[in-house]
Amino acid sequence: MLQKLSVQKDSFLSQISHELRTPMTSIRAFSEILMDDEVTAEETGRYARIIHDESIRLTRLLDDLLDLSVLENGQVRFDIQTATLGDLIDRALMASNSVLPQRRFTIRRQSIEEQIAITTDTGRLTQVFINVLSNARKYCDATDPEMTIAVHRRAGRVSVDFTDNGSGIPKKSQALIFEKFARLTDTHKAGGAGLGLAICREIMHNLGGDIAYVPGQGGASFRVTFPAVLATARD
């Protein structure tokens, strides 16, 4: 067991080193090119945009690593608010639309069931929704991609299912997608090279809930479950 964890840790550090090195190498290379007196104005603009984009990518990775560390150490400061679940889903859909915006993605919702007042860290919960929806836009392999959002409430707890109509995540990867170590060794099938789903899991645990992959739904399906009223909000 310890040997397996050590291998996973080494793999994680290797992948993170690669992810950090790639944008840093680009930034350094194009910065050096810009110092050449013979660079044209057009080239200057193009290289400056590359440096800018790579800087954003590097910042996002560092933010993810810091975010995950804070969540795992239980150092989260809650920003408790009351909102309607449907409004949070609206925000998440708008934000995720920036991912492959040229791709048509049909959304199927239950508007009436979404009219639930919830009291929680709405920003963090919306972050989870955005991540799930963004992954679907990137990885759903259906010709005419669709996302069905289903809401259920029982005994003070709310669950939101996000199910697309693609081929889903391979069975061998389903146990790994929320792990920050193994997840990075299978970047496409496990949902990308970032730490998004690992962060989502920690967020939901901090919100007294959970996020799980639901197999056998005909596509990739994630269930986000949480209390309608976060316990700390009542204290």
Cβ-based burial of 37 (10 A; exposed 0-12, middle 13-18, buried ≥19): exposed
Assess whether 25 and 141 both reside in one domain. Answer: no
Distance CA 147, CA 186 (A): 24
Last residue of one domain, picked from the residues 17, 48, 72: 72
Residue 109 sits in the same domain as residue 132: yes
Q: Are 160 and 84 within one domain? A: yes
Shared domain check, 138 and 46: no
CATH number at residue 28: 1.10.287.130
Q: Which of 39, 72, 105 is the last residue of a domain?
A: 72
Q: Give pLDDT tens digits for 54-86.
A: 787 677 677 767 777 777 776 667 889 999 999
CA distance 172 to 169: 8
- Please check whether residue 228 is in contact with residue 156, taking contact to mean a CB–CB distance below 8 angstroms: yes
State whether 52 and 96 are in the same domain. no
Whether residues 138 and 86 fall in one domain:
yes
Q: How confident is the model at residue 24 (pLDDT cuts 50, 70, 90)?
A: confident
Do residues 159 and 212 both lie within one domain? Answer: yes
Number of domains in the chain: 2
What are the structure tokens assigned to 59, written together? 């910042």
Q: What pLDDT is recorded for position 192?
A: 41
Kindly state whether residues 127 and 192 are assigned to the same domain: yes
pTM as predicted: 0.72
Tell me the torsion sign for CA atoms 5, 11, 14, 15. negative
Name the residue range of residue 33's domain: 2-72
Q: What is the pLDDT of residue 9?
A: 57
HEC sequence for the chain: CHHHHHHHHHHHHHHHHHHHHHHHHHHHHHHHHHCCCCCCHHHHHHHHHHHHHHHHHHHHHHHHHHHHHHHHCCCCCCCEEEEEHHHHHHHHHHHHCCCCCCCCCEEECCCCCCCCEEEEEHHHHHHHHHHHHHHHHHHCCCCCCEEEEEEEEECCEEEEEEEECCCCCCHHHHCCCCCCCHHHHCCCCCCCCCCHHHHHHHHHHHCCCEEEECCCCCCCEEEEEEECECHHHHC
The CATH number given to whatever domain includes residue 91 is 3.30.565.10
**Residues 154 and 121 reside in one and the same domain:** yes
End-to-end CA distance of the chain: 40
pLDDT (average), residues 120-146: 90
**Same domain assignment for residues 59 and 168:** no
Whether residues 68 and 86 fall in one domain: no
Question: For residue 148, what are its two tokens?
Answer: 């069905």
pLDDT, mean over the chain: 81
State the pLDDT confidence band at 231, using cuts at 50, 70 and 90.
confident
Residues 65 and 101 both lie in one domain: no
CA separation for the pair 72, 203 (Å, rounded): 9
Domain limit, last residue, from 72, 94, 128: 72
